[in-house]
Structures are given as C-alpha cells and as structure tokens.
Amino acid sequence: MKVLIIRMSSLGDVVLATPVARAVKKARPDAVVHFLVEKQYAPVLGGNPNIDEVIPYDKRGGDAGVGVFRVGGKLRAERYDLIVDLQHKVRSSLLSYLASPQTRIVLRKRTLGKSLTEFTGISGPLCDSHTVDMYLRVLGDVDIPPDGRIPEVHLDPAVSRAVVERIDAARNGHKTLVGFNVGAGCATKRLPVATVQVAAAALQKLGCGIILTGARNDSGRIFEVASSLPESPVLTAHNFSLKELSAAIGAVDVLVSGDSGPVHIASALGTPTVTIYGPTSPHRWGPLSARHEVIWHEMPCAPCSNHGGARCPKGLEVECMQSVRSEEIVVAATRLFP
C-alpha cells in the first residue's frame, strides 16, 4: 500500500499532522508513506520513522504557477493507493486529482450548513474540535484508527549537539532555561514586546537563563527584548534553521509563546509550554503535551479567527493579547519548572 499525506502549511499544522502518519503505519505496517509539504517546513518532518519520504513543494520556485502540473505528473508516477488531503484547498485538491490515486480522502472542516454560513460571512472560527482530532477523523473513511494524539518531531543529533554546546557555553551557571518565542505567523498572535520584556526580566531575577526565538523577520522584536534585559540572553535564535530552532526548543525547560508552530514542536519534544491565546482558540490549537499552562482571557470578540491575522478586526490594539499580564506568565512558568 502506498500512501501520500498532503499538508502543505503552516508549521504548526504540519507538526499536528504527524499523528496521521503514525496511525497509518500502525494500522498498515507494510505501507509506504510519503508526505507532501512546502519546502520551508520539510525539515520538521526529517527523521520521522512513520514517513518514508518527504516531498518538498517549492511554491516560490520551480513548483510555482504551472509547475504544479509537473509536480502532479511526478505524483501520478508514484501510483498511490491512497491520498490523505489534510489541506483541502485549491492547490492540494488539484495535486490530488492529477496524482489519480485509487482512493482519496479529504479534511472536511465544516458541514454543508456551516460551509454556507461561512460563505455568507457570518460563520465564526472553528472551536469544536482540536486540529489533531479533525485530522485523525479523516482516516475513519478508510477504517484506520488513531494511534495517539501527541505530534512527533525528531531532532537531528548533530544539529542538536551543536545547539546544546552553544547554549552550555553561554548559560553562565543558570540551571533553568526559559525560552520566549516572540514571533508568530500572524501579527495578532504575537506576544506584546513590553509583556515579554517584563516577564523575561522577572524570570532572570529568579535565576533563569533566557533564550529568545523567532523567525528572521522577528529580529527587531528579539533585539528590542534582549537590549532591555538586566542580563544578556543565553541565546537569540532569530536566524536559526528549523532544525536548529527545534533543538533549541528541546533544550529549554519551559517555552513561553503565543499560538504558533514552536508550541507544537515543544509538545512533540515534551518541553513544557506556557501558551498565550487571544484571537485563536486553545480548544482547537492547544498544546497536547502533559505539562502545559494555557493563558486565555475570554472576551466577547474572542476567538475571532481560525489562524489570526495582520490586524485586529475591530481595529483595536489586539486587546485579547495586550490584556495578559507579565505576572501571569511568570507564575505559569514557575509552575512548570523542573
């Protein structure tokens, strides 16, 4: 049996799709499982024993535009028995069609009635089920049962050694390391810089070493936090590869973050998390690891989005995130200390 799982993006969604690969392998040990994913997220699937081949899709390069038909031709040549489309958008649907599998199953987030209300613009965000459960339910169409809900990320040993050595060289005797992920794919999900500054400084006073993570475009926010702290951070990781970022997340004792991909990497690695939610729902995107703290100030307007956005739909200063106090973060983090 040859299976293709499609989940192109984003980072958190890709990580949360890994229980699907595990379930397929558990139910069909002889299955050959491929995973189609955007090139930038492919490294997070590396080393996963349930995935025989990761197929990177370069949507900004050779696979852009009509390149999708070339990719579709390659997929067709693989002669898949089953395609599991967990994206179910135009591109993934086209690729599934071009691949011409014997069986195709897709993620359906809404009933027909809810789809119609979404089309009219009056539908709210999906909060009924966790994303992992939504993905695993798709396999019910082919009678494949779940095999646990915890996502998987497998660290590259050489990369991890290098990152840990770098951390150890700079930790300056700190026994407890707290990571702050200051970025997020959507601006409304990012932790306010001022909140991070105060919380990180307070944790330093408790003797913690601080590690700051984010994407390359978060370098300004990371510098703003780092330059305000009483003590230099042990590490700033704004220019890390995805493998290096995963290794850094695996090395900290607690990760503090808004709703973003690094939270799910932490869950997969068993790193305790303090996750702050605002425009999105923890019921759908909450961490699945045993040790986590969720901070969410429920408001009449929240959650307002499935994935966050560039700005608050009410034109506010993302009140749901701004309302979270640094003291709440510090208290939540200390509850998770080893």
**Per-residue pLDDT tens listing for the chain (338 residues):** 999 999 999 999 999 999 999 999 999 999 999 999 999 999 999 999 999 999 999 999 999 999 999 999 999 999 999 999 999 999 999 999 999 999 999 998 755 454 444 444 445 687 889 999 999 999 999 999 999 999 999 999 999 999 999 999 999 999 999 999 999 989 999 999 999 999 999 999 999 999 999 998 999 999 999 999 999 999 999 899 999 999 999 999 999 999 999 999 999 999 999 999 999 999 999 999 999 999 999 888 888 888 888 888 887 778 999 999 999 999 999 999 99
Same domain, 273 and 309: yes
**Structural domain harbouring 33:** 2-142
Name the nearest CA neighbour of 153 among 240, 268, 258: 268
151 within some domain? no
28: domain CATH number is: 3.40.50.2000
SS3 6: strand
| Residue 154 confidence (pLDDT) | 98
57: left (phi over 0), alpha (psi -120 to 50) or beta: beta
72 within some domain? yes
| The token pair that represents 6 in the structure block | 């499609």
Q: Which of 87, 116, 142 is the last residue of a domain?
A: 142
96 within some domain? yes
Residue 179 parent element (H or E):
strand 177-181
User: Concatenated DSSP letters for 225-284?
Assistant: HHTTSSS--SEEETT--HHHHHHHHHHSSEEEEESSHHHHHHHHHT--EEEEESSS-HHH
Same domain, 63 and 168: no
114 CB neighbour count, 10 Å cutoff: 14
| Residue 314 confidence (pLDDT) | 81
- What amino acid is encoded at 104 in this protein? R
148 within some domain? no
| Residue 111 confidence (pLDDT) | 53
How many structural domains does the chain have?
Answer: 2
150 within some domain? no
Q: Which of 107, 142, 177 is the last residue of a domain?
A: 142
Same domain, 199 and 242: yes
Q: Output DSSP code: residue 9.
A: -
249 CB neighbour count, 10 Å cutoff: 29
Rounded to whole angstroms, the Cα distance separating 185 from 188 reads 9
Q: Which of 91, 112, 142 is the last residue of a domain?
A: 142
Same domain, 119 and 229: no
55 within some domain? yes
SS3 292: strand
Same domain, 294 and 206: yes
| Residue 296 confidence (pLDDT) | 95
Listed in sequence order, the residues at least 6 apart from 36 whose beta carbon sits closer than 8 Å to its beta carbon are 4, 5, 6, 7, 8, 55, 57, 75, 92, 95
Same domain, 191 and 231: yes
Listed in sequence order, the residues at least 6 apart from 232 whose beta carbon sits closer than 8 Å to its beta carbon are 226
Same domain, 133 and 238: no
Same domain, 268 and 195: yes
The structure's pTM equals 0.94
| The token pair that represents 119 in the structure block | 């089309």
| The token pair that represents 325 in the structure block | 């106090």
| Residue 112 confidence (pLDDT) | 46
Same domain, 115 and 257: no
130 within some domain? yes
Same domain, 163 and 136: no
| The token pair that represents 135 in the structure block | 């993905």
Same domain, 233 and 161: yes
Residue 224 parent element (H or E):
helix 219-226
Same domain, 125 and 17: yes
147 within some domain? no
